[in-house]
Amino acid sequence: MMLRYSLAAAALTFGLAGTAAAQSLEVSAQSAGDTATVDAVDVDEAAFVVVHESDAEGNIVAPASIGHAAVAAGVETAIRIPLEREVTAGERLFVMLHRDSGEPGVYEFGPGSVDVDPPMIREGKPVVRPVPVQ
């Protein structure tokens, strides 16, 4: 029994329990326009930084997205994400990390395809940040 507990504790300590330990996302308020910029990303595998819109109540609209950029494992900064449309002051965006689990470098998550390139999970929740457009 003690061995089982010790192995489970070790798995959690070293991030072996199914979630990556290095997944982090830093993003500041965005300016109106057709690009978004993410301050920093730290991931332990190839991933995508994805921009989702919000609905009239300010809730995330997913699985649809309006932009994405591929990132390599490690730390990347000042990541520019082209958007499919211009965003305006007063909008709320959601920036989320997604795994690159399908064809490498091709973002495949979206309506009708939610099994490939799913959101990255940390501490049981997607790695996502709400961001105002100023």
Domains along the chain with CATH numbers: 20-132 (2.60.40)
According to the model, what pLDDT value does residue 21 have? 55
H or E element in which residue 132 lies? strand 128-132
For the chain, what's the residue count?
A: 134
> pLDDT tens for residues 74-124?
999 999 999 999 999 999 999 999 999 999 999 999 999 999 999 999 999
Distance, in Å, from the CA atom of 67 to the CA atom of 84, rounded to the nearest integer, reads 6
Task: Look up the pTM and report it.
Answer: 0.82
Q: How many CB atoms lie within 10 A of CB 88?
A: 10
Going by C-beta distance under 8 Å and a sequence separation of 6 or more, which residues neighbour residue 93?
30, 36, 51, 52, 53, 54, 66, 87, 130, 131, 132, 133
